[in-house]
Structure formats: C-alpha cells, structure tokens
Chain A
Amino acid sequence: MKPALRILPEGRTFAVAPGRLLSEALEDAGIALSLYCGGRGVCGKCFVEIVRGRLGDPSEEERALRTRRALPTSYRLACRCPITGDLVVRVPAASRLPRMPVLDRGVRRTLALDPAVRKIRLTRPSPDLAEPRAFFDALAEKIPGSRLPESLRALKDMALPAGGEGPDADVTAVLYRGRDWLAVEPGDTTGRSFGLAVDLGTTTMVVELIDLETGTAVDSAAGLNPQVKFGADVVSRITAAFAEPGKLEALRASVVDGLNALIGGLLTRTGAARETVYEAVVAGNTAMSHLFCGMPVASLAVSPYAALFSILPSLPADDTGLAIHPRGRVYLAPAIQSFVGGDIAAGLAAVDLAHQPGNQLFIDLGTNGEIVVKKGRRFTTTSTAAGPAFEGITISCGMLALPGAVYKAAYGPEGVSVETIGGLPAKGVCGTGLIDLVAGALDAGLLSPQGQILSPSKTIPLAAGLALSQRDVREVQLAAAAVKTGVRMLLEENAITTADLDGIYVAGAFGNYLNISHSVKLGLLPRFDRRRIRFVGNSSLAGARALLLSQAERARCETLAKRVRHISLAQGAAFQDRFIDALEFKPWA
C-alpha cells in the first residue's frame, strides 16, 4: 500500500509513491512550496513541520540550515526528504510562495505618442462587375507601401470583413509601423487599441495595460516569476534549462503562462478585449529574454557567457504564446552586448540617460547590481554579483517587498521601531528595511563597522520573533560591497570621481523608500548632493512603456544599446582588493 501524506492546515490526504521527495509530493498536491534554489537543499526555504511519521536522518547541511533558522528538530527540509511511510506534515506560511502582488511604481516622462500599432478607418472596398478588383488589392492600395502578411492564417483572418453588410460599411486596418498589416476588423474599431509593457524580472514580473490611443496606463498587475520554482537566480535556472531535455520548454511555458495569467486578470478587470491588445514590449535581463523565447541558454552558462541575441525584430505574438491578439507583435527591449539585458537598456530609455547633461551614474539594485556610467557621450556598463539579499532571499527573516514586510526601521531610546507594508504585523524584512536596520544598529553601537554583531545575543532584533543574524549582516556586507566596488571601478575606468557626476539614478524595487543617509552610511551609495540623486523605482517597466509608446524611442534605445561598452570587473586582483576593502561599513572616502 502506498504511503499516505496528510497536509495541514489544508487537512487533505494523498497517496504517494514511496521514495518520492516530500517537496514533489506537496507540489503534486497543489501546494505552492517555496523552492527558491530549485530543490537543491541550499536555500532552506521549504522547511515543513513533521507532525507525525518518520523520515531518514537529516544531513549535516540540513541540520545547519535548521539551526540557522532556529527551527525545532520536528522541521524538515521538504526537498531533501524521500517519503518512506505515512506522514502528517504542516506546511507553514513562510514556506509557501507568496500570492500577493508586489510593490509597483515607475517613472514617467513625456513622450511624443508614436506607437508602432496604428488603426486606420477605411471604407470597405465595394467591387462591381465593371471593375471586379480583388479585396486585398483594393485594401493595399489605400495604404501605399504597405505589405500583406506572409502568413496564410493572418490573411484568412483579414479576409473575414470582406463579406460585410452594406456598401458603405467601414473596416479598420491595424497596421504595424505604418507598413505591415496586422488585421482588418469589421466596422470602426479605432479608439480601441491597447498594448502591454512588461517588466520580466528574475524574481518578480509586472504587466501594465496601456491605451495606445491616449498613452495612458489603464491598469497593472504584478506577481512572482513562476520560474522561481526552478531556482531563485538566473544561473540555477540556466542550469535547470539544460539539465534535461524538455526543461527549457518547461521554463518557457512557465513564464509565459505566468504572464498570461496576469494579462487575463488585467483584461477581466478592465473589460478590454484580448483582440484589442496588439503589442507587448518585454524588458528582461539576457537570461530571462532567452528563456521567454525558449532559446537555448547553454552558452550563457560558461565563460565567455555569450548570448544568442541582443536585438531581435518584433516577433509574432502567437509564436511567443503570449495571449494577446494572435497577429499582434512582441518586442523585446534590446540587450547591451551579451551581459546587460533589455531591462537595463529600457531603464536608460526611461530616464533618457543619453540626453542628460554631462556625467551621469545609473545604478540598478537588482540581483545583478547593474551600473551604467555616462561620461559625456561615452557609455560604459558593468554587472556586479550583488545577489538577492536586497530582495530578502538570502536573509533568514528576509522577504520581498510584500504586505507585512518591514520596509522602514529606526532606533530610538525604546529600541527599534518598524513600519510594515500595509501596516500588517511584521512577517519579515525587505531590502529597504534591511538597510535601515543595519545602519541603525551601527549607530546604536550594536554592530561594528567590520560587521561584527556586538550585542551578547549576537542578533539584531527587529520585531517579535524576528531578528537579523550574524550571517544576515554578512550577506548585506557582501551585497553592498559588490555594488560599491562596481561603481568605484566603473568610475575609475572612466577616469572620473563622484565629484565629476552631475546626477545619480537609483533604480530597483527599492523605490522611494530607500533611506539615502542610511545607504551612504553603509557605503552602498556614494556621498552626493541628495537633490541630484533620483530614485526611479522600476525603470525597466517605465522603459518598456516608453518603448511601447514611441517608435522613435525604440530606435534610440537600440542605438544606445549598441553604443554602451561592457566592462568585466570580476577578474583581477584590483577587483578583489577593492571588494575586500568595501566590505567595511563606512561612507565613501
């Protein structure tokens, strides 16, 4: 008889094949388990409580993870435990994938509205016996220089309005870049034209529905990238993609399904019809763009980490699987050579970096801390392995910027006081809260500049049952040092210092909540006139919006992406010395 697995608090029971991993059995049962590391037993995010039943002894690694998270011995790492007999397990909320929306904000700048998708109302050609002209010929003549689609399916769709009622009935032409026929719709449908701006992040994704006629954002939806279950970071997902045949397709399908779910929700909420969404602009890093297309990623995995593409022509929507108008298009924001993705190029478009005066610094505080320096008319970029600490992933009580996350903290005479997103009881700490806590602890003398916790408890408490460990502080040191080293070396590469900068842009999920003086105290941001530091939030999404709304912006972005030179910093003794030096919490010299 197969072992029975009872899952609490759901209270449901399932029969399980013996030997199946507990994590797999839970997933089979529809539990969205948090498998950030892809079930490799290294992130410690899938602990479940064994209420009854027996499992094999935990490995040394598992025991270490359990100690680090201060869990009792009844907790086991689901991805490490093959099921051998009947089990009753309780899956705590902390070990489940969060289902709530992420914070979402962007920058806005004014752009001349010039989307690639245009609708034109036409009088339906009415042939007569004297001049029996073909329907498509008559249409094509109305738009000189236009091209019919090279797809029979598209042509058949276009043929439908040919049999419309009455001689004067209108048809509406949907044209792409003024040249390619996407569709012919019966009647007058001008005024009903939408597009999507998509920020395809490694951890989170945001979709915004944009009215292409007015340029306004109608609504937006955000969620976790479902690929998270294949691994938290880009590298583990690339590994998953070529680990076995079919996995690349599974990764592609997973992210497209996730986006389609967000799109579906948006359409339902706004009442917009799927057939009126004609284009999506997707901004993601190089790996996310490749996986979205289902392109092989093996070459991204090993030195020299070469991509297959940086700039692609717009793709037919039905090829990508994105559920918009099947004849619509999907445009991927251009990548900068192989390393720096369309998310950054889009970010540069969002802040219009190319047209800002003098010398500028752009920092994206994501998992790959990407940095761009504009010196006059010269652009250079680099990536640093900041890691997901600021997204809460490698922090014992860390979490994304979701409701319940501590996003602000301050030390006063009565100890620490915190603010949480949505004012809910504190569930964990997100990036901005983490920086406040560490800077505050430094000020309060609980922490040495070298990162040693000085209090006898060896923890930095932040709320009931929540505290930063020594290891958490080390993670913050590593992340901040990676960014600081990257910025310093890229400035040096350009033979300038922060004194030569005219402005700094800080992008990333941090948004406006990042405390400047705390960031400066830790050395994460340089000392700089705070009026000239601009927090631009999700600049990848804002850039995708700009590329959707303006063909000129798209051309400029492609040109800029080709002009940016990538510099690799990871090699060499200079990087190492700087990095080690930057580990100390101190303001920039």
Chain B
Amino acid sequence: MESRERLLAAMTEAIVAGDKTAAETLAGQALSAGLDPHEVIEKGYIPGIRKVGELWESGEYFLPELIGSAECMKAALAVLKPALGAARAKELSRGKVVIGTIEGDIHDIGKNLVAAMLSANGFDVLDLGADVKPARFIEAAREAEADFICLSALLTTTMLNQRRVIEGLKERGLRERFKVLVGGAPVTRKWAEDIGADGYGENALAAVKLAVELGPKGRFR
C-alpha cells in the first residue's frame, strides 16, 4: 500500500520536474504492479500537471517547463491509455477538442501549447494545424463529434476570421452542437463576446480551466 502511494507521488514529481523517462517508466511499473490505469492517471499524473499549472500562474514556470511537463504527460498517457481499453478511455475522456490556428495565420506555438495542455489534462485533441479554413474546422468537428472547437489567432487581422467559423456553424444549424473557444495574443474577452464565442482563454492554463468548466464532464471530479 505504501509503495503504491510512493509510486503515485513519484509520478506527480516526474511531471513537475519534467522528467520524461521517469514519467514513462513509472507508468510501466504501475501497470506491471496491476494498478488501475485510471486511478494512476487521476492520482499520480493529473496532480502533477495541476501543480505545474500553479507554478506557471505564480510566474515560476515558463513555456519550456510547461511544454516539458506536457510532453511527460503525453509519454505517460501513451503507456496507460491502451491499458484502459477503448471503451473506458472514451468514457473517461473529458471531451473531444478540434483545435487549429485560423485561416491566414501561420503561427502555431500558442495553439500547440493549448493543445498539449488539453491532452495532458485528459481531453482528446485533434490538431488541424495552422492556416485552417473555417469550413475545415466545422467539417472536422462534425466528423469527430467534437465537444469543442478551439480557434487560435496571433494577428489582429486574422483574428477576424474567427467570427467566420461561428457564422458558418450558425448557417449550417450546428451552432449548439459545439462549444467554441477562442484565444491568441490579440484576442480579448470582449472580442469573444462580440463574435458570440462560448469562451476566451488568456493562456493555455485558462483554456484548460475553461474547457473543464464548459465540458460535457464539467462536474467530473
């Protein structure tokens, strides 16, 4: 019992320290020891990424630490998720996200960060890349039966295209099917309200919080 607690604490620590090898190895050890992968994720790894979020918010961590920890999460989840089985993985997912940088804009570091943090926090993320046309967002979201469409824009000029996704959804009668979240350097809460988006995340952490709040499993945990 005590070793189980130690193992979970080591997982948390591996994520906070950004130690990918440890994160991966510990996941394997947990499976060999017959631990429930879901419990391992929730009690070992998720507290780690949550702590990373706190360190980011207090200014102690910056992009490299955030990305490093998100990569550790990815490595650990790659080991644990297959063990969950498809049906259980789906059941435990916090929601499906279609994300991309809007048409006309080739910047994608911010978007990648949000995508990584969403995956690290238990969302299924489909990343469409950069310079993505509004229609492509809508098709991909419909095909994937997504819960969220996340739109990034790094330029005040391309930001205007975010509105076109929402208009496209309305035209197709699909507006209520998806939550639309917007972000990016020039984007503000006011802009999100103006175009009728469901939410605005100032940074990757805020985006995760927002998605958890608005998601299909908002009260999950």
- Residue numbers of A with Cβ under 8 A of B are 40-42, 59-61, 235-236, 238-239, 301-303, 385, 450-453, 458, 470-471, 474, 477, 568, 570-571, 576, 579-581, 583-584
Residues from chain B with a CB closer than 8 A to the CB of A385 are 107
* Cα distance A584–B67 in the bound complex, in angstroms: 13
Which of B64, B105, B158, B161 touches A581 (beta carbons < 8 Å)?
B64
| Cross-chain contact of B62 among A238, A579, A583 (Cβ < 8 A) | A583
Evaluate contact between A583 and B63: CB separation under 8 angstroms. Answer: yes
Shortest distance between the CB of B218 and any CB in chain A (Å): 21
Q: Smallest Cβ distance from B116 to chain A, in angstroms?
A: 11
Q: A471-B59, A571-B108, A583-B63 are in contact. Are A235 and B189 (CB under 8 A)?
A: no
Instruction: Across the A-B interface, give the 3 residue pairs with the lowest CB-CB distance, nearest first.
Output: A302-B104, A301-B157, A470-B59
Interface flag for B194 (CB, 8 Å): no
Q: Is B109 an interface position by the 8 A CB rule?
A: yes
Q: Give every chain A residue within 8 A of B109 (Cβ-Cβ).
A: 576, 579-580
How far is B104's CA from A61's CA once the two chains are assembled, in angstroms?
27
Whether B91 sits at the interface, judged by CB under 8 Å, is no
B158 surroundings in chain A (CB, below 8 A)? 301-303
- CA–CA, A570 and B103, complex, Å: 15
| Proximity string of chain B (152-164) to chain A, C-beta cutoff 8 Å, 1 when within and 0 when not | 0001111001000
- Offer 24 A-B interface pairs, CB within 8 angstroms, sorted by A: A40-B156, A41-B190, A59-B190, A60-B189, A61-B190, A235-B186, A301-B158, A302-B103, A302-B104, A302-B105, A302-B157, A302-B161, A303-B106, A303-B131, A303-B158, A450-B64, A450-B65, A451-B62, A474-B62, A570-B107, A571-B106, A576-B112, A580-B67, A580-B109
Chain A contacts for B120, CB-based, 8 A: none
Q: Is the CB of B104 within 8 A of A235?
A: no
Encode contact with A along B88-109: 1 for CB under 8 Å, 0 otherwise: 0000000000000001111111
Confirm or deny: B60 has a beta carbon within 8 angstroms of a beta carbon on chain A.
Answer: yes
Q: In the complex, what distance in Å separates the CA atom of A295 from the CA atom of B21?
A: 55
Residue of B nearest to A477 (CB): B62
Tell me, yes or no, whether B130 is within 8 Å of chain A by CB: yes
B25 near A: Cβ within 8 Å?
no
Q: Which residues of chain B are near A470, meaning CB under 8 Å?
A: 59
- Minimal beta-carbon separation of A55 from chain B (angstroms): 17
Residues from chain B with Cβ under 8 Å of A458 in the complex: 59
Chain A residue at smallest Cβ distance from B157: A301
A451 / chain B contacts, CB cutoff of 8 Å: 62
Instruction: Give the complex CA separation of A301 and B60 in angstroms.
Output: 35
A474 contact set on B, CB distance < 8 A: 59, 62
Report A482 CB to chain B, min CB distance, Å: 11
The answer to whether B106 and A235 touch across the interface, beta carbons within 8 angstroms, is no
Contact of A301 among B104, B106, B108 (CB under 8 A): B104
Per-residue contact bits, chain B 105-128, to A (CB 8 Å; 1 contact, 0 not) = 111110010000000000000000
- Taking A452-B59, A453-B59, A471-B59 as known contacts, 4 extra A-B pairs with beta carbons closer than 8 A to each other, sorted by chain A number, are A235-B157, A302-B105, A570-B107, A579-B109
Most chain A CB atoms below 10 A, which of B109, B112, B157, B189: B157
**Neighbouring A residues of B106 by C-beta, 8 Å:** 303, 568, 570-571
**Complexed CA–CA distance, A581 and B190 (Å):** 34
B208 to chain A, nearest CB (A): 18
B186 / chain A contacts, CB cutoff of 8 Å:
40, 42, 235-236
When chains A and B are docked, how far (Å) is the Cα of A41 from the Cα of B158? 19
Residue of B nearest to A584 (CB): B64
Query: How far, in Å, is B55 (CB) from chain A's closest CB?
Result: 9
